[in-house]
Structure 1
Amino acid sequence: MKPHDAETESLQPPTAIHLSTEDISPWHRHEWLKEIIGREYAHVDITPPRNVPLLNEMDIYTWKQLRLSCIRSNAIKLKRLPQEPLLSSQDAYFGVVLLSGEYMLEQAGREVFLSPGDMTIYDATRPHRITCPGSFSKLIVSIPRELMRQKLAGVEHCTAMKIPGSKGIGAVAADFMRASASQATGMSQLAFDALSDNALDLFTLALQEIRPPTSQLSRSRSLSLYNIKACVEKHLAHPQLDSQMIAQATGLSSRYINELLAAEETSLMRHVWERRLEKTHQDILGACQTGLAVSDIAMKWGFNDLSHFSRAFKRKFGLSPRALKAQAQAAKAKSDA
């Protein structure tokens, strides 16, 4: 795209991907909706209503680093299937704003019941159940996992908890996201994207209000943790990355670094290992376009022992790197057909 074309496009209103069961024959709607939700959000089992038609429609906007979905549906139940995300965009936290109807979410041994205006958050990659007993509408804000973790230490302890939308910062955040969604087509893509940072900041502030005290860090410790993770990301591909390198780069002791990461039930080198596996997972999914071999991707992210890498990858994601690549290629071929 030429620079002039890109500039012109940024001044146009945002364009949503519109998906609706009403465009599908009734006897194909169940499988179609399951496939769409699996592609756009997470792999789920669907239990449709018995006494009313299966109706679900969504408008999905790209919102800078986020995605904003406006969803309207009849009654439905969703259960997250135990399968790793095929797309890196699915490795995310989902913020929910209920607009109308009733909504119940279960995750991590907790359950939350929302009324219109209330918000919650859940980890799209972890087991969860969603039950909506009647017609409802909601917004979903898809937030990349690493971005959400950088914004709020301990976010994993906030899932399936209610953020009241009737008062305080919860009301401000919910109103802001409702207005952003309802007015999206009345502004340019550039202006719409500019709102996303504010929306995420407001949502983070609302989460801080309900975050359990045991998961909270002081501002200085939270900043230190952010700097540690940012340093890891910067040097992740360096084959000699170790605790000494991170300690020197951040000016923190190795002991203090591991103490901070212990609050997230991990250690520095385990965090490095996990991030490298996640990066290889993303690159393998993208290998359909780049043509990179699995071995080249592993070496790129600091894995020198390919057998060890393959075993660790399979333990984390449930299938080997080559099996994932084959699965992604098959999915791409199907979507291109």
Structure 2
Amino acid sequence: MQTVFTTDQVHARDRFDYWHSVACQRIVEHETIPADRSNFAASIEVGGLGNLELVEFHNSPMQVSHTLAHSDRARPDQLFVCYQVSGSVFIAQNAREVTLSAGNLTLIDPLLPYDCRFLDGSKTLVVKVPRLELRARLGRNRELVARIVRPVRVDDSLTLTLTAMLPSLAATMAPVTEEMVGNHAVDLIALSIARTLEGETARVSSSKAILLARIRTAIDARLTDSNLHAQDIADAVGISVRYANELLSAQDTSIMQLVLARRLARCRFALEDPHQGHRTVSEIAYGWGFGDLTHFGRKFKAAYGTTPSECQMLARRM
């Protein structure tokens, strides 16, 4: 994570105005009223993990309003997963009001107006997730914004733990590893957010998110099987191949396309891993379920723009 702003090096009279301009650029446009302008303190750190943008910031108490005018200028391709690192913040969006305490997260849509009140000691992590990624897992359901994910279930605790770790993982791993971790994080976040609707009338998105997570889990558990077929995955999940592919079509993929993508990602990780430098390309490919080296090489180059051997040689030199 890179610090892009801190009030430590700014004169007291300029701190809030300077922070506000940077925050509008790095987080989202908004109007802000600080509780104490003369003693205002804040910092902003940014980073990335795969296709996720990370913004972590702390600030003195203040009120924030993201108005309809701000929403009209917001990026349409992102949704915000807000994880509260410390302190608390009051959030109101879509006719719901929640208080986000340390260790909880919620979903905010920057294309909708919202209001926040940050209390003393607040530190927040905003994970900017591609809208299509979450929509593929959750649908277009606006009822999912401003709902709190708490560590009530074991799997929700895993979601929150991994989300909290994302800043410490940024820029520490190979790109393929970051992509894998980011995808798993989005899977878990989507599943936990979807479950906040359980017990209410709008449950379609929740059931789809759970099925998508089960499909991905079933695939990951069987990648080494060179005889894996779409029917095997559908049987493991308890649905038809047609319905599974219908669910995955929202992400522009299918069972076997996802199997291929996962296998290629695993092979790339192995080829770039210095601890696996003794392994041959063929051993790695066969180990992850590929039965034809020519097919593997062609698909690998199409996905990553280099051959498996070139990938491994470059990793060894680096």
Which residue is 1:115 aligned to?
A: 101
Match of 1:227 in 2: 249
2:115 counterpart of 1:93: no
For 2:121 and 2:133, how far apart are their aligned partners in 1? 32
TM-superposition CA deviations, 1:56-111 (whole Å, max 9, x none): 112111222211122222212111022245464x6421111111111111001101
Summarize deviations over 1:250-284 as a string: whole Å, max 9, x none: xxxxxxxxxxxxxxxxxxxxxxxxxxxxxxxxxxx
Q: Distance in 2 between matches of 1:19 and 1:222?
A: 46
Distance 1:135 1:52 in 2: 17
Say if 1:155 and 1:211, in contact at 8 Å, map to a contact too.
Answer: no
CA distance in 2 between counterparts of 1:97 and 1:50 reads 25
Equivalent residue letter for 1:182: S
Q: Does 1:197 align with 2:219?
A: no
String of CA shifts for 1:113-156, please: whole Å, max 9, x gaps: 12211111110121101111211112111112222211211442
* AA in 2 matched with 1:100: S
Matched, 1:43 2:48: no
Within 2, Cα distance between the matches of 1:18 and 1:121?
24
Unmatched 5+ stretches in structure 2: 209-238, 254-318
AA in 2 matched with 1:107:
Q
Residue in 1 that maps onto 2:150: 164
Paired residues for 1:4-43 under 5 Å: 16-43=2-29
Where do residues 73-88 of structure 1 align in structure 2 (5 Å cutoff)? 73-83=59-69, 84=71, 86=73, 88=75
Moved more, 162-171 or 124-133: 162-171
| Aligned counterpart for 1:124 among listed residues 101, 105, 110 | 110
Q: Who is 2:46 aligned against? A: 60
8 Å Cα contact 2:79-2:109 kept in structure 1: yes
Report the alpha carbon displacement of residue 182 of structure 1 after superposing the two structures with TM: 2.9
**Quick one: distance in 1 between partners of 2:112 and 2:248?**
23
In 1, Cα distance between equivalents of 2:73 and 2:3 = 20
Structure 1 residue runs of 5 or longer lacking an equivalent are 1-14, 232-337
Answering whether residue 238 of structure 2 is matched by residue 216 of structure 1, we say no
Cα offset, 1:204, TM superposition: 0.6
Structure-2 separation of matches of 1:29 and 1:51: 8
Q: TM-score normalized by structure 2?
A: 0.60
Find the aligned partners of 2:67 and 2:131 in 1 and give their Cα distance. 19
Moved more, 47-56 or 73-82: 47-56
1:152 aligns with 2:144: no
* Cα deviation, residue 230, structure 1: 4.7
| Root mean square deviation of aligned Cα | 2.8
SS at match of 1:30: helix
Letter of the aligned partner of 2:203 in structure 1?
Q
Partner of 1:238: none
The number of equivalent residue pairs is 216
Partner of 1:102: 88
Distance 1:110 1:204 in 2: 19
Contact kept, 8 Å, 1:70 with 1:138, in 2: the verdict is: yes
Matched AA of 2:83: V
The 5-angstrom pairing of residues 286-297 of structure 1 reads: none
CA contact (8 A) 1:42 1:85 kept: no
Query: What CA deviation, in whole Å up to 9, does each residue of 1:18-44 have, x standing for no partner?
Result: 322323322222222222222122211
Secondary structure (helix, strand or coil) at the match of 1:146 reads: helix
SS in 1 for 2:57: strand
Looking at structure 2, the residues matched to 20 and 113 of structure 1 have their Cα atoms a distance apart, in angstroms, of 26
- Which secondary structure state, in structure 1, belongs to the residue aligned with residue 43 of structure 2? strand
Measure the CA separation in 2 of the matches of 1:207 and 1:223: 23
Map Cα deviations across residues 147-202 of structure 1 (whole Å, 9 max, x no partner): 22112114421111111135432211110121232344654555334311111111
Structure 2 distance, partners of 1:165, 1:77, is 27
> Identity, % of aligned pairs?
17
